[in-house]
A and B are shown apart, each in its own frame.
Chain A
């Protein structure tokens, strides 16, 4: 099925460990996004990539890095995980057609726990 695929779905890390969340979309979208969802906070933008080869910071970029590997793939890396990064992470991509140009399509999420 067409859409946004995230891996892994669940991950437990110890403080200081590193890991990469993977995201791929098969809808030929130009723009891709990483959000985190925390209780009482809604979804907050970490980083986005408006097109292949570009990345920009969102509201809460500290502690994260991203790579737009190609048009399909956008990864999120935690170099040294902290308990404050315990969250559910969502990858999204933005529709191209004019009728739905502002609509983001989300993946199912990756639940990360940092002990």
Chain B
């Protein structure tokens, strides 16, 4: 049973506009959340994270929002750039040793 869900397999956005990627989770014990970005033929690379004690974390063009009551998080990319085109994975953690990943959303930024 998938504990972390990304219900949109793909998203297309015009360059310069905002990209919003969504993620839902079912386990209320998750206390740390991460977003990873993956290019073809490469491993996932860490993008941004948020602890459950916060509801927002920002790093340059990337902002992650956490709504614990809804068990929902989202990644905002503003402005979107063609180099942002990749697969984005949401991941959640409870305790020290396992990240549970979503199925990924393929973002295409159209020049």
Q: Using CB atoms and an 8 Å cutoff, list the residues of chain A in contact with chain B.
A: 4, 31, 35, 40-45, 48, 50, 56, 58-59, 90, 92, 100, 102-109
Contacts and interface: CB of A to CB of B under 8 A. Distances in A.
B104 A102 contact: no
Interface residues of B, number: 23
B96 A43 contact: no
Given A42-B4, A45-B98, A48-B97, A104 B104 contact: no
Contacts, number: 53
A102 B97 contact: no
B66 to A, nearest CB: 14
B101 A104 contact: no
Contact of A44 (B96, B101, B104): B101
A42 B100 CA distance: 9
A88 B44 CA distance: 12
B46 A105 contact: yes
Contacts of A92: 43
B25 interface: no
Contacts of B104: 42
12 contacts: A41-B103, A42-B2, A42-B89, A43-B99, A43-B101, A44-B101, A45-B99, A50-B97, A102-B99, A105-B46, A106-B44, A108-B43
